[in-house]
Every structure is written in C-alpha cells, then in structure tokens.
Amino acid sequence: MDKKATLTLADGKSLDFPVLTGTIGPEVIDIRTLYGKSGMFTYDPGFLSTASCNSSITYIDGDAGVLLYRGYPIEQLAKHCDFLETCYLLLNGELPNASQKGEFVSTVTRHTMVHDQLTRFFTGFRRDAHPMAVLVGVVGALSAFYHDSLDINNPEHRKISAFRLIAKLPTIVAMAYKYNTGQPFVYPRNDLSYSANFMRMMFAVPAEEYKVNDVLVRALDRILILHADHEQNASTSTVRLSGSSGANPFACIAAGIACLWGPAHGGANEAALNMLEEIGDASKIPEFIKQVKDKNSGAKLMGFGHRVYKNYDPRAKLMRETCYEVLNELGLENDRLFKLAMALEKVALEDDYFVSRKLYPNVDFYSGIVQRALGIPVSMFTCIFSLARTVGWIAQWNEMISDPEQKIGRPRQLYKGAARREVQPIDKR
C-alpha cells in the first residue's frame, strides 16, 4: 500500500500527498502538487527540511556521524583506496577493478595539461589576488576552449568534460599558487600519480629536482578523498541549480567554486586556521570561548558545527589522524597550532554551550593544520577543497542531467513587500 501524508488546511480541507521511501535515511513527502491543489507554497529558508532531489551518490547520517560514498563508508575508502579510485566510484557508482582503474588513471593523466592560452588569464590578475578569485575566473573561462563538447545532453560530451575538469583542476590550482608566489608554472608529469603530480606542480622549482615524499602525498590524497562529495551542500546545490538551466559544466563548476569560497562553507578551514593563529595560546582559550558565547561578538568557533552532523564529523576524525601522521613524519609532533586545536576541541566538547547545540568539529577543523604542515599556504586551502569537490560536483551534475524528473530549479517566495501602488510624478514624491 502506498504511504501518504495528509495536510489539513485552515479551511478544514484535507490534502493527501505521497510519502516516498529511499534505501536508507528519512522518507520524504512529495509536495510537488501542493501549490496546484492549495494555492500555497511551503516555506523553508536554508532548506532545513527540504529534499531538493533524489540521489544515489552520497549518504550522510548526521546523528550517527556516518558518511557513505555510493554505500562505502568514508573510513574504508580513506584507508583502502586512493583519490582517483574514489573519483571512479562517485562518477560510475562502483569501485573500479584493476583494468578499469588503469584506463581511468591513464585518461585523467592525459588531460592534465591546459591550453597554453589559458596562462594569459593569470596575468590579468594582481599577484596578490586571492587564489579563489583566480580559480573562479579561470575555470569559468575553460568553456571558451571546448566548444566541441558543450552539448550537455550528449553523454560523451559530459564524459570528456568530467575528465577535463578532474584532470585540469590540479594544474590550474597549482598555477594560481605559482602566479601568487611569482615562481614559474610547473608542467604536469605523466609518470607521477595524481596527488604526487599536484604536489610537484605546487612546490617544484626549475632550479632543482623535486623529491616526492610518499607520506605527504598519501596525506594529500586522503584529504582529497575526504572532501570529494557531501550530499546536497550549498556548493553542490549551486552546481545543480546552475546546471538545471542547461549551463555548461565549466560554468557550473565555477559557480560551485564561488559558493564554496564562503567562510560558512568551504572557506571555514582558512577561517579556522586564522582563528587558531588569533587565539595564539591555550591560555587564551577561555577568553575566546566567552566571546563565542556572546552573540553580539559575532565570533564563531570556526571548524565547528554542521547543518547535518549533530555528532562528530567522521571526516574530522580521519583528518585528525592524518594531521598526526604528517606532523610526525615532519618531526612537528609538537606543532603549537595542532596542540592548540586539540586543547580547544577538548574545552568545547566539555562545554554545555557547544554540547547542547550539538556542535562538534567538522572536516574543516583539522584540515587547515594538515595543509599548512604540507606547505600549503592558508589562502590556498579552499582551492584544494575545490579541487577535491570537483568530482562530487560533476557526479551530482551528471546525475541531475540524466534524471527524467529534472526541471529548471525555480523556487517561489513569501512576498512581504509593498502592495500595488501608483507611480507619482517626481514633484509629488
């Protein structure tokens, strides 16, 4: 028997709506006919109780602190797979076998170079431009180079665009960093793994051979896995909404990057590290916590809290482990910011203000410390997040385009403005 939900309106009229059930997680009330039946909209700013789509890609259980990519727990993927295997999984729904992985890696590897004209875009920016401003601009401009594959209804065009974006984001992110430092761009190398290639493009200089450090490369690869996708977060919803108009994938990913830049979203790891630098010392933690509790201060515990996780973000646990591994490898186990972050976390998790609001560390709380230890400057943190999330955005965009229920996204509103009135001549205003 099909499940239904009944809504009784103020005038006593009852309306029935189907209840839809997923594989796991909350059921949904299908209210698509509500406006037609009642002349009323639902009202849900911030979409706290709204499912914008059906998806098979990522599942989050915020209360249990669970994150699954295509059903696989993030802890197992971070331990047993690398980032390109995870990309294959998110895009295709299954983990690759050895030959599928070999072909996928080879295709990505052969798309890592960018058109040489793309380098001209960088010179239009000031050297001290925020790398995210550069990334939004350059990624959006990619569509100008691929007129041959912008038909989003052609699966082959969608496939080649996915490969180009996954392969070229590391090259473009590294170019943004090199431009910022005044060092020459470093070309990708086809004999290196995805993450080793990225580390070399970021840190190699022509004056000497770059030595790959496998522990640091593995740490970066894990950071990319942890950030690869996360259900219908703000930037993914931005990509889906942009794509729903038929915009090309490069423009949609540029829109996702722009949204991720916000400090409440992907910009939080940069903000969390700046917060730790500002606190400076564990003795200053009580004063800072007092400020956070004072709503007028506007201070937030950056890297804490989450719209969905009302338990420990599973990615934060894995990020803290990675942090420890990298700092140990570098002989920085007494890193002051890491110790300060752990002290701050301990204080917050014992304080009822945070516990009662179910505020726990999220993926951004430790990721800044790891990236700083890898030599990545604070201003580049959200670029790395964008690099990792590109595969998630593409997988979600692809799923949306292929969804027969898909329509252009066009929410309505509760209008609180002026009722109809007549324009008066200027001498009567």
Per the DSSP assignment, residues forming a β-bridge with 87 are none
User: Taking contact as CB under 6 A, which single stretch among the options 164-172, 263-271, 400-408, 410-418 is the one that binds ligand SDX?
Assistant: 263-271
Q: How many residues bind ligand SDX (CB under 6 A)?
A: 20
DSSP, collapsed to helix, strand or coil, labels residue 419 as coil
Q: Known catalytic residue: 306?
A: yes
| Interacting positions 350-389 with ligand SDX (CB under 6 A) | 357, 359, 362-364
Pick the binder of ligand SDX from 138, 251, 268, 323 (CB under 6 A): 268
Residue 37 in the binding site for ligand SDX (CB under 6 A):
no
By beta-carbon proximity to ligand SDX, the closer residue of 114 and 254 is 254
CA atoms within a 13 Å half-sphere pointing along the CA-CB vector of 71: 8
Pick the binder of ligand SDX from 131, 170, 256, 303 (CB under 6 A): 303
By beta-carbon proximity to ligand SDX, the closer residue of 230 and 317 is 230
Per the DSSP assignment, residues forming a β-bridge with 8 are 14
By beta-carbon proximity to ligand SDX, the closer residue of 168 and 230 is 230
| C-alpha span between 28 and 17 (Å, rounded) | 10
Pick the binder of ligand SDX from 37, 157, 307, 310 (CB under 6 A): 307
Contact pattern from residue 278 through residue 297 relative to ligand SDX, giving x for each residue in contact according to CB under 6 A and a dash for the rest: --------------x-----
- Contact, 242 vs 371, CB < 8 A? no
- Kindly compute the dihedral angle of the four CA atoms of residues 89, 95, 98, 103, in this order, to the nearest 10 degrees: -20
DSSP, collapsed to helix, strand or coil, labels residue 400 as helix
Q: Known catalytic residue: 364?
A: yes
| C-alpha span between 196 and 104 (Å, rounded) | 17
- Contact, 156 vs 98, CB < 8 A? no
| C-alpha span between 394 and 239 (Å, rounded) | 8
Pick the binder of ligand SDX from 264, 284, 290, 375 (CB under 6 A): 264
| Interacting positions 101-140 with ligand SDX (CB under 6 A) | none
In degrees, rounded to 5, the angle at the alpha carbon of residue 393 between the alpha carbons of residues 391 and 399 is: 100
- Contact, 262 vs 253, CB < 8 A? no
By beta-carbon proximity to ligand SDX, the closer residue of 143 and 382 is 382
The residues binding ligand SDX (CB under 6 A) are: 230, 233, 264-266, 268, 292, 300-307, 357, 359, 362-364
- Residues annotated as catalytic (active site), given as ranges: 306, 364
